[in-house]
Structure 1
Amino acid sequence: MSIFDDNKDYAYQLPDLKFSSDSSGNGVWGGFKAGDAKNLLLKSLYPMGTMSIAHFGVQLEPLESSSRLNKEKIELFDPSYLNNLLKDPRESIMERHIPLFDESFKLPWLAQSVDLSILDAEIDSIKAGAFNLNQITGNSSGEIQVNFIETRNATILNSAKSIKNIMFNNGDGTLALPKDYLMRITIFCYDRHSYKTKVFEQSHIVALQAASVPLDATSQNGIAIVPLTFIKMFPMLDNM
């Protein structure tokens, strides 16, 4: 690397930095001699690799096969119609089951981000003299928020609206039975070289708690991101 000296009319060359050892094993890396670091640490550390936070998926399925989530149908614009709207203005609407639970719908690829909760313990503190003694009293059932990239025909929003109508019986003032709106959410991490190789997976029994979309006419990106918030319902059923 060359550095220009303002007091002189030429640049001088800095010596190269060397991170390798000589034949005698001199030089250090990570608190080891370079030779020892390679043999004792790096040969076992590097093969472990790293997990990518970008390679994950989210899947949803009704908890009960006989639930209304499985039977309900919604109307959506045909994506091919929207993509060719200027060429062929004839309206095309399709009726289908709620896409969030349809295996042919590529839901895992639309999940933009999610916080994967593994443990959320509840703790009580007891003061004993100058010390605080902590005791684990339970496992909290919190929320899971998944941010989805919205499709052109508003599949995520229309699905959330349909689930809301099921939960509140189309606004008639009554509530549906839990079996009709409970669902299982599965969040998994897969290897960057194989989608089928799921190195970690976590499932919860949940219900949809909130859905919204922040609309903004000044956004430079312009892509709609829909946050769906799910509340964990019955932790004792997660592994069933």
Structure 2
Amino acid sequence: MLASVILNINQLHDKVAQILEKTKGSFMIKGSWVAQYDITNFSKYHKGSEGRKRFDIFGETGLFNSDFDEWKHQRKLARAFINHQKFQQLMAKIVPEMIERGLIPVLDHVSEEKMLVDFQDLLKRTTFDFACLIATGHNPNSLSVGFSDAVNDACEAILIRHLVPESLWKLQSWLGFGKEKKLANAWRTIDNFGEKQKSMKQEEIEKGMEAKEDEGIYSLLNCYLSG
């Protein structure tokens, strides 16, 4: 499938959507022959050690790296979170707030100053802030700081791992250069961010700051810490 990826690299999301619609949501991804890696529907076929090697930044558990009963448990938690009434209420509240208080002021500023802006990067950072608020209950304000670059570097490195021989990206990782060096730096940044958010949330819970659920943000981190 490498040829198809290269030919549609500028419209990759549209191409994937077309394939998913045509195959009714499940199809075999044939990796490049040099990478020797194929992917299929992970709800029916386990990912195993080969998948976890390339997604090692996600750890041993979670939706990306777990299999079988553990995957079902993770999926059950995620679905319970998304279907919860408080999640729906949160979505209705924070989406307009983030646009009105985050994105629009930035656009107004660059317009007034007649500045050039990477609109794709701006939307990426807005999406990242939104995702962090949903996941942790805290907004990292990446519209003003460069934290989301770490996530971007990690995603690029993981993609490369699926296109080149394992020996090559492992060599880069061992010597500490190229995309693997960026991944290592991103990993530290993301881990530090995650630990900080977890500590803040646990401290809030211990101090009783979230005793009244209506006053707190129903985040995915709340969901995991409570059950």
TM-score by structure 1 length? 0.21
Larger Rg: 1
More helix by share: 2
